[in-house]
Amino acid sequence: TPCARSHEMVSLKRNPQTLTRWIIESQREHAPNATGDLSVLLTSIQLACKAISNDCNKAGIYNLYGTTNLQNASNDQVKKLDLLSNDTMINSLSFTGQVALMASEENEESIKVDPSFRGRYCCVFDPLDGSSNIDANVSVGTIFGVYRCLDDSKDPTDADLLQKGTNLIAAGYCMYGAATMMILSLGFGVCGFTLDNTMGEFVLTHPSIKIPAKGKPIYSVNEGNSANWNAAITEYVRRCHNPKEGETPRSLRYIGSMVADVHRTLLYGGIFLYPADKKNPNGKLRLVYEGNPMAFLIEQAGGRAITGTERILDIQPKLIHERIPIVLGTKSMVDEVEQLYKELL
């Protein structure tokens, strides 16, 4: 009833479950003997995301649209907002006293923190995923993952960044769209928080995200690359177009921003594919700061994330900017793709 909804709104305003409060309460419940260092680190990440969100909202006003004359470590054209977002993440994390080493899509090499500020964690991030869409005001986002350094008594090396995704202690993304949302997992499920601009705080709005076991029949893939696909992906998409008798045809939804496409998949169910093809035999998306954090979230929500033949989180990274194929989403749909790889390749 309207009266009940009004009471709920008043209660939320008076007693909001903010992200900071959720982090503190989660530590108290799941790690009562923790030092609180990770809480400080996550608070700095949310601060950086608030700043990036503000920059995205004001991009048209302050002439932040458009590209620079630079290419990043992945050979992608660098947008003005890419640089600004990258600087924001690096600056916010560098002075927490909790981070020793970072890896970013925009930096060819790892980023070492000054020894006087070093902590025991390392962070990987794509500061502005989907930035090619920013000029069209399409949702973009920041992807991040956090690892514990392998040996915090020694100087950090790239080996600290090149850990398997199974070693992640936190991962998430912040999506900048009609609303700014942060999706976060600390290894005990997935929660979603929406930025309340009047308070300047992320507020818990999705307390336990589970990818639907029988989600909407949605597949997300760039069909412009179909001429270069392998037989397994070609056959899977053919089945999406031409289902068995009695089944509903699957709907294509492709935004071209991984954060936005994965966010929809996480909430509605379905499958997201960015497979290897003849032009990109090793895939296009990056394992360390895109594949692993997203795979961690999807699995924590009850889904699956594979390359086609192996679990993404089990891959041992060799390079910071290593590329992989990605297939993730509702378990049954990912299982079907995996079976086709076994049968046809």
Answer yes or no: is pLDDT of 122 > 90. Answer: yes
Q: What is the pLDDT of residue 186?
A: 96
Answer yes or no: is pLDDT of 114 > 70. Answer: yes
Q: What is the pLDDT of residue 7?
A: 46
Dihedral pair phi/psi, residue 325, rounded to 5°: -75, 150
Segments making up each domain of the chain, as ranges: 19-208, 218-344
- 76 catalytic, yes or no? yes
Work out the average pLDDT over 246-262: 91
Q: Residue 243 — pLDDT band, cuts 50, 70, 90?
A: confident
Q: Are 156 and 100 in contact (CB under 8 A)?
A: yes
- 42 catalytic, yes or no? no
- 184 catalytic, yes or no? no
- 247 catalytic, yes or no? no
Task: Please indicate whether the domains covering 19-208 and 218-344 agree at the CATH topology level.
Answer: no
- 343 catalytic, yes or no? no
Measured CA to CA, the distance from residue 109 to residue 211 in angstroms comes to: 35
Catalytic site residue from 19, 38, 55, 82: 82
- 82 catalytic, yes or no? yes
For 77-86, 104-113, 302-311, which range has the lowest pLDDT when averaged over its residues? Answer: 77-86
Work out the average pLDDT over 195-201: 93
Catalytic site residue from 12, 37, 64, 76: 76
Q: Does domain 19-208 have CATH number 3.40.50.2000?
A: no
Catalytic site residue from 160, 290, 299, 338: 290
Catalytic site residue from 42, 84, 105, 287: 105
Measured CA to CA, the distance from residue 38 to residue 186 in angstroms comes to: 10
CA separation, residue 11 to residues 1, 4, 207 (Å): 15, 11, 16
Catalytic site residue from 55, 126, 160, 338: 126
Q: Are 214 and 332 in contact (CB under 8 A)?
A: yes
Please give the structure tokens belonging to residue 158: 């790239």
Q: Residue 68 — pLDDT band, cuts 50, 70, 90?
A: confident
* Cβ neighbourhood burial of 218 (10 Å; 0-12, 13-18, 19+): buried
User: In the chain, what percentage of residues exceed pLDDT 70?
Assistant: 95
CA separation, residue 84 to residues 65, 100, 265, 313 (Å): 11, 22, 28, 30
Answer yes or no: is pLDDT of 71 > 50. Answer: yes
- 109 catalytic, yes or no? no
The CATH number of 218-344 is 3.40.190.80
User: In the chain, what percentage of residues exceed pLDDT 90?
Assistant: 77
Please give the structure tokens belonging to residue 220: 């997300």
| 90: three-class secondary structure by DSSP | helix
Catalytic site residue from 41, 101, 129, 287: 129
Work out the average pLDDT over 255-284: 95
Catalytic site residue from 55, 106, 299, 338: 106
- 299 catalytic, yes or no? no
Answer yes or no: is pLDDT of 152 > 90. Answer: no
Work out the average pLDDT over 339-343: 97
Q: What is the pLDDT of residue 5?
A: 53
| Count of alpha carbons within 13 angstroms of residue 269, beta-carbon side | 14
Catalytic site residue from 38, 84, 93, 128: 128
pTM of the predicted protein model: 0.93
